[in-house]
Amino acid sequence: MQKQDYVSEDARKAQASEKQRSIVIFVLLLAIHIASSVFTFIASRSHDVITIMDNTVPVPAFAGVFFNISNICLIFIVVWFKKKGFILSLSLLLFQFPILYYGMIVQKIMAILPGFFGNFVTIAAIIVIYRRNKKIENYQMIEITYLTRQQRFSQRLFEQTAKALVNAIDAKDAYSHGHSMRVAEYSEKIARELGKSDEECEKIYYAGLLHDVGKIGIDDQIINKKGKLTDEEYEAIKQHPVYGNQILSSISEYPYLSIGAHHHHERYDGRGYPDKLKGEDIPEIARIIAVADAYDAMTSTRSYRDAIPQQSVREEIVKNSGTQFDPRVAKVMQHIIDLDTEYVMKERSTVQELSGNSELSCSDYRGEISEGILLSPCMTSISMLSKPLESSGTSESYSIPTIILFDSLDGRVHMDEHTAKDLNYFEYGEIRFDGKYICAGARKIHTSIHNNGIHEEHHFRTKKKASGGDSYRIEAVRFEDHALIRIFDSTKTMEVVVALPDSARFCYIGLTGENCFISNVHISASETPVADDYIPRIAEKVTYIDVPAGDIPNVQVDGYRRTSSEPIPITDGLRIDFHSMSLPTARLIWHCPYFVLFHSANGKFDAQKAVEYALIRIDGETWDDEKSGAKNELEVDKTSEFISWDEWKRRNKEGIDCSVTFKIEGDTIITETENLGVKLKNTTVISGGVKDVYVTLTADQCALTNIRIRKA
Ligand SMILES: [Fe+2]
């Protein structure tokens, strides 16, 4: 809740320009002082005369004028530059005394005498000014401290009041614990991505924090009802934005609070409540909170379901962009989700739920299963302690720690048939620490045991019975369609190679067992990927592109832009036709073909070296990434052929014929394609002209075949 002190952008700019002005004035005053001092010195020693209005005046008479100007400059330096100015002015004045002394005593120039006294008077003046400055500064400091204290007090009072209100809302709803706080944080994140200032972000944060304050006025029984709400109950719930507005509108100092509470359930298409506002008529603050609110509702556990996996949440936001959500805000939320590769934005709330599971107590087979540990091409090491459960009464009974290899949208093992289906649960197999294994969905599993130099195949003979407990180390790594797992105990190493089915999405390890108490689990991962041939192949790579190629080789893209087709030079009127089929692992809207427009000196696509001008996805999703050397504008239209995103996914899995055309107009490349009712026109303006620009076909989990190139 504690928000950081901030200096607004405007204040920062004002400070910077003030500093610049001060430096200019300082340099100017110093320059005038030095110039006047030099003139004083020259004039006081001159014997010339000059004529002014028919009167002859000796030049030394001007010395006093220059002398006064130089001293006035020093006084101004003290006025403006306080302590530093005082020290500098005093030093410059004291520096003049030896010169004056030399002139008067050695050279016997008595005309210097007034200057000598003048210097004393100036020194007295700058001391008085400096002391007065200090006094004023002290008064100001006292006043600022008082005001700051007052401001902090008001801020604290506001924060505590807001927190008390939030606690009151959370206390009413058993399943919304922490919801207000998370919505506030997500809203602020979105606002920041939208380029809002610090002040605006803070306003949005507090508006998000108090958006559901109106729930205080709703009956507890309705809020916490587990079953379906009746029409009357739903109407009652729908009143909370109105109550929220009534509660917060009395805080006239912060009008944005009531706006957020009042309109966060409006929909972009005008079908929301309470006022059925539409599009830009909905205050922006409420459009932001609406997306943050929906995101948190989906990523939190509810009475009737678990948290929805992040990618499915992302897909819901894509599906409802332009209907429920402001497309601009939805797009920012999609980008925030993409940046949150570890799904931190939801995990924070679930860490507590899982904290009790750092120890697993498995009395029955798979009694408890750890959360999935994701395997990657970097080696993951897991250490753990396992001992037979004391409750079993005998340490001689079977105690078998086990690893489950699986994939699911939420990274957890699901035994229940319905949840397993909803979360795309897929089990590759199970590896027991006694050497046995079950090959479920994997294509093949191969185990070998190294026992003090003795090499045994498929048997873990020496340890059928568990001892009083053992410590284990597990090393696991996955590279493309193979995974390698090594299990070390005090005497043996079991090595398991798993051939995963086709282009399996993720491979998680779940720790479990039978009659074991697993504790002291520590997980660490190396940062360097293993070599391509680190895992011995036990099965051929499954391919979906083993069909006759078109003009260039077919390409199978197993993950987001993991590989791409041979580059094709873009010429005016170029047309590319190809067939695309989403792989069996594909399950989301954006698992479809993409086009990358790029320049490279050698005509090859190297992600590190090529200059990427555009990334065009046939689902029409785009993020305004800074592309060096090019500006892109994408127009997306849905024609009557578009049925729904679910139908889009189904047809992509079946296989679609795509066609893309390119036009070159001066510095501009126009890319056009229409697939299943999603019509795209992307305009890429390349600075410096179109020279050696190529297109390469890529995708997320698609097989691209029969690629035909037709030049105009
Ligand atoms: Fe609400």
Residue 192 sits in a domain whose CATH number is 1.10.3210.10
pLDDT of residue 187: 96
CA of 644 to the centre of ligand 1 (A): 27
CA of 211 to the centre of ligand 1 (A): 6
Does 347 or 469 have the greater pLDDT score? 469
Residue range 110-133: average pLDDT?
A: 83
Residue 368 shares a structural domain with residue 512: yes
Q: How confident is the model at residue 458 (pLDDT cuts 50, 70, 90)?
A: very low
Nearest to 487 by CA among 513, 468, 506: 513
CA distances in angstroms from 344 to 8, 229, 347, listed in the order given: 29, 32, 5
CA of 627 to the centre of ligand 1 (A): 39
Nearest to 580 by CA among 683, 663, 676, 657: 657
Percentages of the chain per state (helix, strand, coil), in multiples of 5: 40, 25, 35
CA of 233 to the centre of ligand 1 (A): 15
Check pLDDT > 80 for residue 463.
Answer: no
Residue 686 sits in a domain whose CATH number is 2.60.120
pLDDT of residue 532: 86
- Domain contains 156: no
Nearest to 585 by CA among 704, 472, 708, 502: 502
Residue 581 shares a structural domain with residue 686: yes
- Residue 80, classed as helix, strand or coil, is helix
pLDDT of residue 85: 86
CA of 290 to the centre of ligand 1 (A): 8
User: Contact at 8 Å (CB) between 179 and 223?
Assistant: no
Sign of the C-alpha dihedral, residues 407, 413, 418, 419? negative
The residue whose two tokens read 């504008």 is: 633
pLDDT of residue 196: 93
Question: How many other C-beta atoms lie within 10 A of the C-beta of residue 72?
Answer: 16
Residue 387 shares a structural domain with residue 525: yes
Question: How many other C-beta atoms lie within 10 A of the C-beta of residue 608?
Answer: 4
Domain extent, residue 584, equals 555-710
Does 532 or 267 have the greater pLDDT score? 267
Query: How do beta strands 482-488 and 555-557 pair?
Result: unpaired
Phi and psi at residue 663, to the nearest 5°: -125, 140
Check pLDDT > 50 for residue 212.
Answer: yes
Does 255 or 51 have the greater pLDDT score? 255
pLDDT of residue 623: 79
pLDDT of residue 704: 97
Residue 500 shares a structural domain with residue 583: no
- Domain contains 159: no
CA of 531 to the centre of ligand 1 (A): 51
In tens, the pLDDT along 646-656 reads: 999 999 999 99
Sequence-distant (6+) residues with CB within 8 A of 703 are: 544, 545, 554, 555, 556, 557, 580, 581, 583
Q: Considering the chain, what is the average pLDDT of its residues?
A: 85
| Residue type at position 259 | I
Check pLDDT > 50 for residue 6.
Answer: no
Structure tokens at 237: 């719930």
pLDDT of residue 437: 93
Spatial separation of the C-alpha atoms in residues 440 and 5, rounded to whole Å: 56
Does 393 or 28 have the greater pLDDT score? 28
Spatial separation of the C-alpha atoms in residues 673 and 675, rounded to whole Å: 7
CA of 152 to the centre of ligand 1 (A): 30
Check pLDDT > 60 for residue 88.
Answer: yes
Residue range 631-635: average pLDDT?
A: 92
Domain end call among 145, 165, 196? 145
Check pLDDT > 90 for residue 519.
Answer: no
CA of 265 to the centre of ligand 1 (A): 6
CA of 577 to the centre of ligand 1 (A): 48
CA of 318 to the centre of ligand 1 (A): 21
Spatial separation of the C-alpha atoms in residues 119 and 96, rounded to whole Å: 8
CA of 336 to the centre of ligand 1 (A): 22
Domain end call among 339, 372, 389? 339
Check pLDDT > 50 for residue 460.
Answer: no
The residue whose two tokens read 């197993």 is: 558
Phi and psi at residue 186, to the nearest 5°: -65, -40
- Domain contains 153: no
- Domain contains 170: no
CA distances in angstroms from 577 to 8, 301, 555, listed in the order given: 53, 45, 14
Check pLDDT > 50 for residue 353.
Answer: no
Question: How many other C-beta atoms lie within 10 A of the C-beta of residue 261?
Answer: 29
Domain end call among 117, 145, 173? 145
Nearest to 427 by CA among 436, 435, 419, 438: 438
- Domain contains 178: no
Nearest to 507 by CA among 372, 645, 337: 372
pLDDT of residue 352: 34
Q: Structurally, how many domains does the chain consist of?
A: 4
Helix H or strand E segment including 448: strand 444-451
- Domain contains 4: no
Does 291 or 491 have the greater pLDDT score? 291
CA of 379 to the centre of ligand 1 (A): 44
Spatial separation of the C-alpha atoms in residues 338 and 149, rounded to whole Å: 41
Residue 706 shares a structural domain with residue 560: yes
pLDDT of residue 2: 39
In tens, the pLDDT along 278-287 reads: 999 999 999 9
pLDDT of residue 3: 41
User: Contact at 8 Å (CB) between 430 and 402?
Assistant: yes
Helix H or strand E segment including 375: none
Residue 488 shares a structural domain with residue 586: no
In tens, the pLDDT along 411-433 reads: 888 888 877 877 778 899 999 98
CA of 309 to the centre of ligand 1 (A): 22
Residue 280 shares a structural domain with residue 366: no
Nearest to 366 by CA among 229, 222, 246, 511: 511
Which DSSP symbol is given to 644? -
CA of 295 to the centre of ligand 1 (A): 12
Structure tokens at 259: 């706006």
Residue 403 shares a structural domain with residue 445: yes
Question: How many other C-beta atoms lie within 10 A of the C-beta of residue 247?
Answer: 18
- Domain contains 513: yes
User: Contact at 8 Å (CB) between 289 and 194?
Assistant: no
pLDDT of residue 9: 62
Does 221 or 327 have the greater pLDDT score? 327
Residue 79 shares a structural domain with residue 210: no
Residue 368 shares a structural domain with residue 503: yes
Spatial separation of the C-alpha atoms in residues 331 and 678, rounded to whole Å: 17
Q: What angle do CA 391, 396, 402 make, to 5 degrees?
A: 75
Residue 103 shares a structural domain with residue 251: no
- Domain contains 566: yes
Check pLDDT > 90 for residue 703.
Answer: yes
Q: How confident is the model at residue 461 (pLDDT cuts 50, 70, 90)?
A: very low
Q: How confident is the model at residue 34 (pLDDT cuts 50, 70, 90)?
A: confident
In tens, the pLDDT along 130-161 reads: 888 889 889 999 999 999 999 889 888 888 88
pLDDT of residue 453: 54
Residue 604 shares a structural domain with residue 703: yes
Phi and psi at residue 226, to the nearest 5°: -85, -35
pLDDT of residue 452: 55
CA of 240 to the centre of ligand 1 (A): 7
CA distances in angstroms from 434 to 61, 399, 451, 458, listed in the order given: 110, 9, 13, 10
Q: How confident is the model at residue 344 (pLDDT cuts 50, 70, 90)?
A: low
CA of 325 to the centre of ligand 1 (A): 15
Rg of the chain (C-alpha set): 38
- Spatial strand order of the sheet with 360-362 comes to 360-362, 516-529, 378-388, 470-479, 482-488, 492-499, 444-451, 454-457
**Long-range contacts for 322-325 (Cβ within 8 Å, ≥24 apart)?**
322/268, 322/269, 323/267, 323/268, 323/269, 324/267, 324/268, 324/269, 324/272, 324/290, 324/294, 325/267, 325/268, 325/287, 325/290, 325/291, 325/294
Spatial separation of the C-alpha atoms in residues 589 and 675, rounded to whole Å: 13
CA of 238 to the centre of ligand 1 (A): 8
Helix H or strand E segment including 284: helix 284-299
